[in-house]
Amino acid sequence: MFKAVLILISTINILFLITYSVADKPCVSRKYNHSSVVCVCNATYCDEISKINVLETDQYVIYSSSMSGQRFEKQYGSLNKNNINEFQKADNVILHINRSNEFHKVSGFGGSFTDAAGINILSLSKNTQKYLIDSYFSENGLEYNLARVPIGGCDFSTHPYAYNMMPENDIELSNFSLTTEDHTYKIPFIKEALKVSTDNILLVGTAWSPPTWMKTNKAIGGESRLISEYYQTWANYHLKFLEEYNKKNVSFWAITTGNEPSNGILPIMGFNSLGWMPKEQSMWLVQNLGPTLKNSIFRNISIFALDDQRISLPWWIDWMAETEGAMDYIDGIAIHWYWNDFVSATPIETLHKSFPTKTFLATEACIGDKPWQLEKVELGSWERAEAYIKDIMEDLNHWHIGWIDWNLALDRQGGPNWIENYVDSPIIVMPNEDEFLKQPMFYGLGHFSKFIPRDSKRIDVQKVNGDIDNVAFLRPDGGITVVYYNPFDIDKSLTIQEEGKGFIQMTVQARSVHTLVYW
């Protein structure tokens, strides 16, 4: 599949030889009514991107995707060792990479094994299912290595439920068992993913709502609190979940303190929730959840606090920290992306200064959630890919160790969702055609997940002249990954330079995203 075209480009009297090729196994594109295309996969064909090989020193590869329809198209070359000053032009953006100025380490990227994702994957034939899982997790896919798993039901289930709904007031959780959803929609696909992944997939568990009898309002959604006599039962519930999944050989890396506690305080949406204020939740953490986990075989499981919008920062964590011992149980802070457009990342910097050992993890993102987004699934929307790219870059530039997308797959409507809270997903299934469609968002996320392996360290980039959003990493194999994005409707001239290594001079197409890797 190597279609090489040699192009001679003359820039300031110097000739470059650049080799272009199509993607490893190219996208079969289809245009719907939006700005860009989707890539169509079926039982016999799906586009792929091979695991990246370490190149010789000073060789580079650039992968490109664009509104105009490129998907992971590759270009090879060698770093230019000439004097960079010959290339300075007034309108040229320059990115200076400095690998000796290091920041945090990355844990990974991924999506979520919701009931809806499982139902949608199952709606396809076996071969097509395999291509879908491979697209995300295998070495020929995005190489996802993080995933979130709801503990019980959430809105992306066909009905509201939690474990041990019956009998009521069952303080011993005597009837706790996994559900059909776990056995049919979650565990089989988690196992498939683990099987094809070359990395260890780190799982994050999150509960949405306890069984209704533990709650003040006796309902799955709405305004609620945990009844105080069930504080320990709710901690044991988490333990039982981890035990049951362990019996299935599925072990978790982390849990969060619960999905979006604000949703049970100001219930705008009536889906599964539990309301907490930071003071109450930190008491539960210190007296119940924390000690329960630390005294169990799950003592190494990380606990992420918040699991809610950025707007809750930093006050939520500051308030939690007032409870003695609370921060000792917290390994990191989980943040959802909704409303990030309206809230700057400054509070993350503030929190990082106050709590330098705590990590930040983006645990949920999707588009189409807003009431004014009337079309929930937009097939081929480049703008939605842009929103992902922009947010991932911003988070990575502000201490985030990873970014987890929401549903791995949804249907044409953006569901199923028992409360009709339909949204978009990077993969949309079309069961009647036995196809699935990879949205531009899929590739936007892939420009990070594929090329920033676990334990890569963010490094400094100094930007000169203008605006090409970017983020750079030193990979464990000694390579440098730079992801950069041109949000403008015009092409931009760009130089990426590292002192002592050389530079690359290029034109960055309008509305396009790129990943450069060199050694």
Give the footprint of ligand NAG on this chain (CB under 6 A).
28, 32-33, 42-45, 98, 100-101, 166-167, 175, 248-249, 297, 299-300, 499
| β-bridge pairing 359-364 and 469-474 | unpaired
Catalytic option among 364, 378, 386, 435: 364
* In the complex, minimum distance from the CB of residue 271 to ligand NAG, in angstroms, rounded to a whole number: 21
d(CA 444, CA 428): 15
d(CA 225, CA 216): 5
Tell me the backbone φ, ψ of residue 140, rounded to 5 degrees.
-100, 10
d(CA 146, CA 372): 31
**Between 27 and 335, whose beta carbon lies closer to ligand NAG?**
27
Catalytic option among 48, 143, 260, 394: 260
**Between 310 and 384, whose beta carbon lies closer to ligand NAG?**
384
**Between 52 and 423, whose beta carbon lies closer to ligand NAG?**
423
Whether 267 and 215 have beta carbons less than 8 Å apart is answered as: no
* In the complex, minimum distance from the CB of residue 97 to ligand NAG, in angstroms, rounded to a whole number: 9
Q: Residue type for 223, please?
A: E
* In the complex, minimum distance from the CB of residue 102 to ligand NAG, in angstroms, rounded to a whole number: 9
Active site residue 364: yes
Q: Which residues contact 213 (CB under 8 A, 6 or more apart)?
A: 165, 168, 169, 170
* In the complex, minimum distance from the CB of residue 472 to ligand NAG, in angstroms, rounded to a whole number: 12
**Between 392 and 472, whose beta carbon lies closer to ligand NAG?**
472
> If you ran DSSP here, which 8-state letter would residue 408 be given?
S
| β-bridge pairing 108-112 and 400-407 | parallel
> If you ran DSSP here, which 8-state letter would residue 344 be given?
-
Q: Which residues contact 458 (CB under 8 A, 6 or more apart)?
A: 102, 103, 104, 106, 396, 397, 471, 472, 473
Quick one: CA dihedral 349, 319, 342, 308, positive or negative?
positive
* In the complex, minimum distance from the CB of residue 457 to ligand NAG, in angstroms, rounded to a whole number: 13
**Between 247 and 353, whose beta carbon lies closer to ligand NAG?**
247
* In the complex, minimum distance from the CB of residue 33 to ligand NAG, in angstroms, rounded to a whole number: 4
**Between 306 and 461, whose beta carbon lies closer to ligand NAG?**
461
The closest alpha carbon to 81, from 462, 480, 474, 500, belongs to 500
Q: Give catalytic residues, as residue numbers.
A: 260, 364
